[in-house]
Amino acid sequence: MQHSAGGRALAIDYDDVLSAQRRLEGVAHRTPVLRSATADARAQATLHFKAEHLQRIGAFKFRGGYNALDRFDAAQQRAGVVAFSSGNHAQAIALSARLKAMRAVIVMPEDAPEAKIAATRGYGAEVVLYDRYTEDREALGRGLAEREGLTLVPPFNHPHVMAGQGTVANELFDEAGELDLLLVPLGGGGLLSGCATVARARYPNCRVIGVEPEAGNDGQQSLARDAIVAIDTPRTIADGAQTAALGDLTFGVIRQCVDAIVTVSDAELVDAMTFMASRMKQFVEPTGCLAVAAAFANAEPWQGLRIGIVISGGNVDPLRFASLIAAP
Amino acid sequence: MQHSAGGRALAIDYDDVLSAQRRLEGVAHRTPVLRSATADARAQATLHFKAEHLQRIGAFKFRGGYNALDRFDAAQQRAGVVAFSSGNHAQAIALSARLKAMRAVIVMPEDAPEAKIAATRGYGAEVVLYDRYTEDREALGRGLAEREGLTLVPPFNHPHVMAGQGTVANELFDEAGELDLLLVPLGGGGLLSGCATVARARYPNCRVIGVEPEAGNDGQQSLARDAIVAIDTPRTIADGAQTAALGDLTFGVIRQCVDAIVTVSDAELVDAMTFMASRMKQFVEPTGCLAVAAAFANAEPWQGLRIGIVISGGNVDPLRFASLIAAP
């Protein structure tokens, strides 16, 4: 379903999220909402952490990927799926395809970490490697899709992906009730657009704020200019948010439903990762800490609020975690 | 209550654990039991992880400490408590005393980590520092206790402490049902004796195995000789299990109720910590991984079993964690 707001049709509405919620029932984990008195004291607010690092494949991406595949028609299911990704989306599609007994082809750069290639193959997907300096992955993927009849599922700019990611906020509200503020990591905008759609429908007074890495604030710029701003691939430890631009579908929802976008520095991300480990005993990837870092950095204006925080994922190699937190 | 077995009275029985369970209701966290398909595949068994790193103060020690203080009589409560510890027991007693509005004096070595001293003071306890090379902490503590009427609560060799720690296994069985095997970290034996007491009462066929660091296998030696064997303070990264000897009360229960004691190496502990972080997204201290490491190391003899694993704590400084897992 689509509804229009401000003259433009939005890609998804709350019914799409509810449909995704039903499709994910018994398939995705209903991840816990964590609380910490120490975190509350630090932020001077009441924090509810939605723990998507405990989701299948270690990140929220499973929700959108599975929802998209679950909506394939019979012919699409028979032919299979193709996706490009070197990160969590690759594993989300690979696992979802295995669960749906579907063929999956994942296009990955040949210099992707060996562990990620192995993990994707481990889920039974075919991995097609390309040289990121000489080959165009989009052309490669589209060629594969056309030749073999595969359906392409993009990582964020797709209604079924966005609706699937919205179930994160839906479950958070189910557990925590009304919130004053919802803080959501922002890369391409799949998670933020889905979560904002839910907040607008269920708790219109809940402010929704996206959190980007300081070095890659294309979302913040886009909201300010009311047009998608593209930037060079940002240099940040938040590798899940190294997107150059929002999609037209995600931006359409974000400009209507999101109140603001704030940024945090890499140093604030490292501090948040360290806090999550030492105080909450949770192992969270840098991108996964975006909303946590924002809650700590902005304690004063948000003092006393009931804040929902989406922890988006936990897929960081322990050795990389070690080197990040040990850096001066 | 006491009951006798093999001609010797044991320090605790299952009723003592049930009494502790009632006292801890609404005070201690009922920590979750975690599952992981990846862990099951690796151990070729069904693993149920009791997550005591998510307990208050970050370790199971809160249970025994609080239970002991909750059983003080009125005069003891008015006077307060004294404990020696540089680790989790210090914080367990400090927090428990604050909750009971009771004075707490914690005797700590003056070279204890600043963060631990600060954390203990943060709970409102008075910290008395001593020089571990020239002063006898036991004499110091006993002097304090006598002069000021304080009650000493030892870290493991005490019936109320042991009964409190037994609630860990009680909750694990509540959630997981019958198990074939229960793996429990072993330092001074408070946790193991409490958990074994519960297993014997609820599921007599469940094997109970304690897990020690390879370098400090005094428990294994003690069980073999049927007498407490003391060793020099072992060199191991499992700092929570660097005890020189079991207590007479804990050994009394262990020799009657525990089937075996196995050991794991420091390298196996690091591997288990890395697994817990990368696959289960949980931040666990080296001692906390003893039972995890045993489950992975002993996959073959325990193949196909339903295994309960106690994760005892998560209090490791992130920088120390980083240096441990980054070591060659």
pLDDT grade for B7, boundaries at 50, 70 and 90? low
The pLDDT tens digits of the residues spanning A12-71 come to: 999 999 999 999 999 999 999 999 999 999 999 999 999 999 999 999 999 999 999 999
More confident residue, B228 or B326: B228
Say whether both B266 and B148 belong to one domain. Answer: no
Q: How far does the CA of residue A86 sit from the closest CA of chain B (Å)?
A: 17
CB distance A53 to B280 below 8 Å: no
The residue from B119, B152, B185 where one domain ends is B152
Q: Is the pLDDT of residue B71 over 50?
A: yes
Q: How far does the CA of residue B62 sit from the closest CA of chain A (Å)?
A: 16
Scanning chain B, the segments in alpha helix (DSSP H) are 14-24, 37-43, 61-70, 74-79, 88-99, 114-122, 137-148, 159-176, 190-202, 218-225, 248-257, 266-278, 290-297, 318-326
Two structure tokens written together for A144: 């594969």
The pLDDT tens digits of the residues spanning B227-257 come to: 999 999 889 999 889 888 999 999 999 999 9
Distance CA B219, CA B188 (A): 8
Asked if B317's CB is within 8 angstroms of A278's CB, the reply is yes
Say whether both B167 and B211 belong to one domain. Answer: yes
Distance CA A314, CA A60 (A): 10
The residue from B134, B152, B170 where one domain ends is B152
Asked if A282's CB is within 8 angstroms of B282's CB, the reply is yes
Distance CA B170, CA B260 (A): 20
Taking the alpha carbons at both ends of chain B, their separation in whole angstroms is: 50
Q: Is the pLDDT of residue B328 over 70?
A: no
Task: Show residues of chain B in contact with A318, CB under 8 Å.
Answer: 274, 277-278, 325
Sheet-wide strand order for A33-34: A33-34, A46-51, A306-311, A181-185, A207-213, A260-264
285-324 in chain A: CB under 8 A from chain B:
314, 317-319, 321-323
Backbone φ and ψ for A68, nearest 5 degrees, come out as -65, -45
Say whether both A200 and A296 belong to one domain. Answer: yes
**Is residue A3 domain-resident?**
no
**Is residue B2 domain-resident?**
no
Say whether both A120 and A211 belong to one domain. Answer: no
Q: Is the pLDDT of residue A263 over 60?
A: yes
Q: State the DSSP code for A282.
A: B
Q: How many domains does chain A have?
A: 2
Say whether both B141 and B192 belong to one domain. Answer: no
**Is residue A1 domain-resident?**
no
**Is residue A96 domain-resident?**
yes
More confident residue, B41 or A7: B41
Q: Is the pLDDT of residue B64 over 90?
A: yes
Report CA Rg, chain A: 19
CATH number at residue B286: 3.40.50.1100
Least confident of A61-65, A264-268, B260-264, B323-327: B323-327
What is the residue-averaged pLDDT of chain B? Answer: 93
Distance CA A15, CA A20 (A): 9
pLDDT grade for A273, boundaries at 50, 70 and 90? very high
- The crossing angle, in degrees rounded to 10, of helices B318-326 and B266-278 is 110
The pLDDT value recorded for residue A323 is: 94
More confident residue, A170 or A244: A170
**Is residue B115 domain-resident?**
yes
Say whether both A38 and A110 belong to one domain. Answer: no
Distance CA B244, CA B224 (A): 16
Say whether both B124 and B248 belong to one domain. Answer: no
- The crossing angle, in degrees rounded to 10, of helices A159-176 and A14-24 is 80
Say whether both A101 and A115 belong to one domain. Answer: yes
**Residue A327 burial by CB count (10 A; 0-12/13-18/19+): exposed, middle or buried?**
exposed
Q: Which residue has the tokens 């980054």?
A: B326
Task: Show residues of chain B in contact with A276, CB under 8 Å.
Answer: 283
More confident residue, A98 or B138: A98
The pLDDT value recorded for residue B252 is: 98
Least confident of A217-226, A317-326, B42-51: A317-326
Domain that holds residue A296: 14-60+158-326
pLDDT grade for B4, boundaries at 50, 70 and 90? very low
Query: Nearest-CA residue of chain B relative to A280?
Result: B54
Distance CA A306, CA A293 (A): 16
Residues in CB range of A56: below 8 A, 6 or more apart = A28, A29, A62, A95
If you average pLDDT over residues A202-208, what whole number do you get? 98
Of the candidates B32, B58, B282, the beta carbon closest to that of A283 is on B282
More confident residue, B301 or A216: A216
Q: How far does the CA of residue B29 sit from the closest CA of chain A (Å)?
A: 12
The pLDDT value recorded for residue B246 is: 96
**Is residue B3 domain-resident?**
no
Say whether both A96 and A244 belong to one domain. Answer: no
A85 is an active site residue: no
Asked if B32's CB is within 8 angstroms of A321's CB, the reply is no
**Three-state secondary-structure class, residue B240:** helix
If you average pLDDT over residues B21-38, what whole number do you get? 97
Backbone φ and ψ for A137, nearest 5 degrees, come out as -65, -30
Q: How far does the CA of residue A220 sit from the closest CA of chain B (Å)?
A: 30
The pLDDT value recorded for residue B129 is: 92
The residue from A152, A171, A205 where one domain ends is A152
| DSSP percent split of chain B into helix, strand, coil, nearest 5 | 50, 15, 35
Distance CA B292, CA B282 (A): 12
Question: Is B221 an interface residue toward A (CB < 8 Å)?
Answer: no
Q: What is the DSSP string of A90-156?
A: HHHHHHHHHHTT--EEEEEETTS-HHHHHHHHHTT-EEEEE-TTT--HHHHHHHHHHHHTPEE--SS
Residues in CB range of B65: below 8 A, 6 or more apart = B83, B89, B92, B93, B95, B96, B153, B161, B164
The pLDDT value recorded for residue B81 is: 97
The pLDDT tens digits of the residues spanning B257-290 come to: 999 999 999 999 999 999 999 999 999 999 999 9
If we measure between CA atoms, which residue out of A31, A318, A10, A6 comes closest to residue A168? A31
pTM for the model stands at: 0.93
**Is residue A172 domain-resident?**
yes
Report CA Rg, chain B: 19
More confident residue, B132 or B108: B108
Q: Are strands B46-51 and B33-34 parallel, antiparallel or unpaired?
A: antiparallel
Say whether both A181 and A131 belong to one domain. Answer: no
Residues in CB range of B320: below 8 A, 6 or more apart = none
Query: Nearest-CA residue of chain B relative to A275?
Result: B318
Say whether both A207 and A307 belong to one domain. Answer: yes
Q: Are strands A81-84 and A104-109 parallel, antiparallel or unpaired?
A: parallel
**Is residue B103 domain-resident?**
yes
Tally the residues of chain B. Answer: 328
Q: Is the pLDDT of residue A197 over 90?
A: yes
Distance CA A281, CA B317 (A): 11
Q: Are strands A126-130 and A207-213 parallel, antiparallel or unpaired?
A: unpaired
Say whether both A182 and A97 belong to one domain. Answer: no
pLDDT grade for B8, boundaries at 50, 70 and 90? low
